[in-house]
Chain A
Amino acid sequence: GEQVEQLPSILRVQERSSASINCTYENSASNYFPWYKQEPGENPKLIIDIRSNMERKQIQGLIVLLDKKAKRFSLHITDTQPADSAMYFCAASRGSGYNKLTFGKGTVLLVSP
């Protein structure tokens, strides 16, 4: 089946440093890559996404990079705060037009003061 590998599974950083999460995908036809943040006891919430016609997207302190050749995309959180501590999921579409996503297994980000 289609896989999305997400690393690391746990990431510990100091407040105000940067955090990076990396994902790789298998299907060269994948064209949509959302990122979700899930806080304890809550549902996953979309924080940023990127489509295959872009290589970089930034929303405030969140940066997503997409390397289609390497089938790799990444989330970078700059100037982390304790409130950024959460589970983060990457996902990739199952090729264009299928409206299904394959999710990575998640990264627990811990930001210490």
Chain B
Amino acid sequence: EAAVTQSPRNKVTVTGGNVTLSCRQTNSHNYMYWYRQDTGHGLRLIHYSYGAGNLQIGDVPDGYKATRTTQEDFFLLLELASPSQTSLYFCATSPGNNQAPLFGEGTRLSVL
């Protein structure tokens, strides 16, 4: 069954800490996305990729890096975490052609 798996599911770090969120898909989808979800803001796109080695900037990229190492794996990096990055993060995949993304289970990140 097609799946989007995120890890860790929960993470607590301190201000200035270094965090990597992982996403792995078994969908064989070309597009992978990182979103953050915050009350009052809905889902906002951080970064996305349309294939291994490709990276595109989303709408709220400041403070985040991303890397797509393979077709299956997409990582979100917070090198100097700040409390404003406390959020629920979702990875999603899509085959393209404007088809609806399929979301992973989410990672809840707290930056103290």
Contact = CB atoms under 8 A, between A and B. Distances in A.
A1 B45 CA distance: 12
Interface residues of A, number: 26
A99 B99 CA distance: 7
B41 A32 contact: no
Interface of B: 31, 40-45, 48, 50, 58-59, 90, 94, 96-106
Report which residue of B43, B44, B94, B106 has the largest number of chain A beta carbons within 10 angstroms of its beta carbon. Answer: B43
Describe B's contact surface by its main secondary structure.
loop
A1 B59 contact: yes
A34 B100 contact: yes
A103 B42 contact: yes
B68 to A, nearest CB: 14
A106 B100 contact: no
A99 B98 contact: yes
Contacts of B45: 100-101
B93 to A, nearest CB: 11
B24 to A, nearest CB: 15
